[in-house]
């Protein structure tokens, strides 16, 4: 399941909702937060812009791909948009499977792919004004690793 929303989410409640029945023995999760920085390198708030419609389409494709690759009992992706302060949750991925390997790998896959194929853009508030975050080559490499390991 995927959800794109401005509101915060409750990680514990979402995970609890995924272990109700059957054969779930492993829940893996990833939560991305707005970093606050340390000492002199304090980071301000950021605003997440997205492409409504395409975001849903891409996240649904990514989820379907993960379910093809691993035997998942359940899968949830939540991504927020709008203005977020340091410490706030941006994104969450939860995967549920019978065994841990599938849950852990699928979770890493989902966040790696989401980083490079979900249409979100971060605008950071800095001391010198606003600045769009640049994409990192390491994110492309992380996603390509999964393409090679298909």
Partner 1 sequence: MKLLYFAWLKQKIGIAEEDITLPDDVATLGALVTWLKSRGPGYEEALGDLAVVRFAVNQDFAGLDHPLSDSDEVALFPPVTGG
Applying CB under 8 A, the residues found at the interface with partner 1 are 32, 48-51, 53-54, 57-58, 79, 90-91, 100, 111, 114-123, 132-135, 139
Q: Is the dihedral of CA 135, 104, 102, 67 positive or negative?
A: negative
State the nearest-atom distance from the C-beta of 149 to its own copies, in Å.
15
| Residue 8 interaction partner, one of partner 1, its own copies, none, beta carbon < 5-8 Å per kind | none
Structure token digits, residue 63: 């989820």
Q: Which residue has the tokens 């390198």?
A: 41
| Residue 123 interaction partner, one of partner 1, its own copies, none, beta carbon < 5-8 Å per kind | partner 1
Q: Which of 104, 84, 95, 63 is nearest to 9 (CA)?
A: 84
Q: Which of 63, 93, 65, 67 is nearest to 79 (CA)?
A: 93
Q: Residue 20 interacts with its own copies (CB under 8 A)? A: yes
Q: Which of 115, 54, 65, 121 is nearest to 95 (CA)?
A: 65
With contacts defined by CB under 8 A, name the span among 51-59, 64-72, 103-111, 118-126 that binds its own copies.
Answer: 103-111
Residues 109-138 as x/- pattern, contact with its own copies by CB under 8 A = --x---------------------------
Question: In a 3-state reduction of DSSP, which class is residue 1?
Answer: coil
Element (H, E) at 69: helix 54-69
Q: Residue 34 interacts with its own copies (CB under 8 A)? A: yes
CB nearer to partner 1: pick between 39 and 52? 52
Structure token digits, residue 53: 């419609």
Residue numbers at the binding site for its own copies (CB under 8 A): 10-13, 15-16, 19-38, 87, 89, 98, 100-101, 103-104, 107-108, 111, 142
């Amino acid at each position: 399941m995927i959800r794109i929303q401005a509101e915060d989410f409750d990680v514990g409640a979402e995970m609890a909702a995924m272990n109700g029945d059957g054969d779930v023995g492993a829940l893996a999760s990833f939560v991305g937060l707005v970093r606050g920085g340390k000492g002199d390198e304090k980071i301000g708030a950021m605003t997440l812009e997205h492409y409504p419609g395409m975001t849903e389409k891409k996240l649904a494709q990514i989820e379907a791909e993960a379910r093809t690759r691993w035997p998942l009992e359940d899968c949830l992706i939540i991504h927020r948009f709008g203005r977020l302060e340091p410490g706030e949750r941006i994104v969450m991925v939860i995967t549920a499977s019978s065994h841990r390997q599938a849950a852990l790998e699928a979770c890493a896959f989902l966040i790696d792919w989401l980083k490079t194929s979900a249409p979100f853009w971060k605008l950071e508030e800095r001391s010198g004004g606003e600045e769009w975050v640049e994409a990192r080559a390491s994110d492309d490499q992380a996603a390509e690793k999964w393409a090679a390991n298909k």
